[in-house]
């Protein structure tokens, strides 16, 4: 029976991601983001359960990546699509049925509507990153490139900041199309970069061998308490910086 537990958790990840897709498509980006958070929670514990129960399997690895393509790949892509649509001021027009349009699919009110499709590059980059991960035997104790759940958190933080932080200055930055384009390109690059990032996998609970992980968790807690959702991009940046420093010191 215990061999089914990790796969059941993975399927819960996929279930949450599927619900998030429905909410994201229907413009409820905040609820979609929270369901992705639930999915990432299950994604973390499916691997943990598999290691603790000693029931790791090839099918579990493949199933995990398939679930992540939806939860941490498709949903962030849709959300970036929606944000880019908002940034060019054609959120409602861009989702009107094609037969109700008086202008072409590429132009509405003099604005190029093909731009939001760029957001789906995040989905493609996530799928490619997961495929590489499945065939890479080196990524056992570290990640090469930003993991898809971490990248998903980065993208999903944007609608949450818009909704809950109540800062006109920050909102203006997030809804700037050039900022969103830059985030999309950076996201795709980070996913498939060669940067070695430490994994939050504890083989033991000692502080010395896990100093980087413990310090990172403590700093994350402080940032989230102080800055709330605005802390998430800083947490991702901190993760990258600490990983680079850890690589330098380990050499």
As a whole-number percent, the residues of the chain with pLDDT over 70 amount to 80
The pLDDT of residue 100 is: 37
With contact defined as beta carbons under 8 Å apart, do 144 and 136 qualify?
yes
Model confidence pLDDT, tens digit, residues 15-39: 999 999 999 999 899 999 999 999 9
Show the domains of the chain with their CATH numbers.
2-195 (1.20.120)
Q: Residue 139: is its pLDDT beyond 80?
A: no
The pLDDT of residue 204 is: 59
C-beta atoms surrounding 155 within 10 Å: 27
Report the C-alpha gap between 148 and 4 in whole angstroms: 24
Report the C-alpha gap between 247 and 251 in whole angstroms: 6
With contact defined as beta carbons under 8 Å apart, do 76 and 151 qualify?
yes
Least confident of 133-137, 148-152, 189-193, 226-230: 133-137
Model confidence pLDDT, tens digit, residues 234-247: 999 999 999 988 87
């Amino acid at each position: 029976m215990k061999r089914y537990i990790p796969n059941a958790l993975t399927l819960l990840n996929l279930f949450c991601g599927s619900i998030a897709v429905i909410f994201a498509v229907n413009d409820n980006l905040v609820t979609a983001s929270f369901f992705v958070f639930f999915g990432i929670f299950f994604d973390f514990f499916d691997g943990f359960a598999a290691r603790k129960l000693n029931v790791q399997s090839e099918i579990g690895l493949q199933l995990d990546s398939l679930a992540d393509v939806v939860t941490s790949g498709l949903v962030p892509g849709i959300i970036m699509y929606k944000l880019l649509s908002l940034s060019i001021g054609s959120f409602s027009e861009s989702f009107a049925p094609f037969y109700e349009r008086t202008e072409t699919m590429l132009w509405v009110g003099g604005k190029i509507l093909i731009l939001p499709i760029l957001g789906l590059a995040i989905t493609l980059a996530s799928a490619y990153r997961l495929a590489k991960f499945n065939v890479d035997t080196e990524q056992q104790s570290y990640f090469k490139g930003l993991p898809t759940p971490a990248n998903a958190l980065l993208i999903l933080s944007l609608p949450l900041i818009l909704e809950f932080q109540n800062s006109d200055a920050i909102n203006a930055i997030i809804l700037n199309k050039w900022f969103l384009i830059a985030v999309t390109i950076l996201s795709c690059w980070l996913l498939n970069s060669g940067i070695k990032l430490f994994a939050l996998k504890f083989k033991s609970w000692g502080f010395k061998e896990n100093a980087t992980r413990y310090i990172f968790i403590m700093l994350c807690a402080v940032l989230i308490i102080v800055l709330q959702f605005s802390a998430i991009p800083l947490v991702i940046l901190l993760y990258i910086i600490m990983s680079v420093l850890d690589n330098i010191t380990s050499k």
